Amino acid sequence: MPRSRVLDLGCGDGALLAYLHKQKEVVGAGVELDDAQFIASVRRGVSVVQQNLEEGLALFDDQQFDTVVLSQTLQSMHHTEHILREMARVARFGIVSFPNFGYWPHGWSILRGRMPVTGEMPYQWYDTPNIHLCTLKDFQSLAASLNLRITHLATFNVDKEIKFLPGWRSTLAVYRFESPQEDARKE
């Protein structure tokens, strides 16, 4: 929606926010830790704060945004529950994407005695930033325990959407959830 307020956590070079601003008239802000990515975001004209997400989102007010995005970063967070709670605090809706560890070749790789290395998880076990791997059901359980109501799920394998047996066949999951504050507002 035009004039929607979006916060992109781990915004990288700011490409998503720049696109949303130009194409959808979104008012956005980003959080990025990496120096080079932070500078690239600024050069794109994106409003960005340089901060470690592990420290939380104290710079932002409750429900300051309509949507907060955490794209392919959840699995590298040390404090997974904390960042999800913070997302629900600062925005009405959250969008989270992560590699699906339940993808069947991952299980096959483990049965053969090796950690999986795939397109979504291209690192060896000893140099991976991915410290909290999960399946679709794992995330759904965590979301329920945090009172985050999942409103949408899309699963993908490369660029193809997977609808049949997504827990086994997808490499990437994208969830949209509603903040508990949003549920309270409806009552």
Candidates 49, 53, 155, 60; CA nearest to 102 is: 155
3-state secondary structure of 13: coil
Across the range 65-90, mean pLDDT stands at: 96
Q: What is the DSSP string of 50-65?
A: E--GGG--TTS-TT-E
Token pair of 89 as six digits: 């605090």
Judge residue 7's burial from the number of C-beta atoms within 10 Å of its C-beta, 0-12 exposed, 13-18 middle, 19 or more buried.
buried
Rounded to 5°, the CA angle 92-32-178 comes to 15
- Where do the domains of the chain lie, and which CATH numbers do they carry? 52-186 (3.40.50.150)
Cα(134)–Cα(4) distance, rounded to whole angstroms? 30
Across the range 64-69, mean pLDDT stands at: 98
Element (H, E) at 153: strand 149-157
Candidates 172, 155, 169; CA nearest to 100 is: 172
pLDDT for the residue 134: 95
Exposure string over 159-174, b if 16+ CB within 10 A, otherwise e: eeebeeebbbbbbbbb
Exposure string over 107-121, b if 16+ CB within 10 A, otherwise e: eeeeeeeeebeeebb
pLDDT for the residue 187: 56
pLDDT for the residue 106: 92
pLDDT for the residue 184: 58
Cα(156)–Cα(174) distance, rounded to whole angstroms? 8
122 pLDDT higher than 80: yes
- Report how far Cα 112 is from the mean position of its chain's Cα atoms: 30
pLDDT for the residue 130: 86
129 pLDDT higher than 80: yes
Across the range 64-80, mean pLDDT stands at: 96
Cα(10)–Cα(169) distance, rounded to whole angstroms? 27
Q: Are 94 and 147 in contact (CB under 8 A)?
A: no
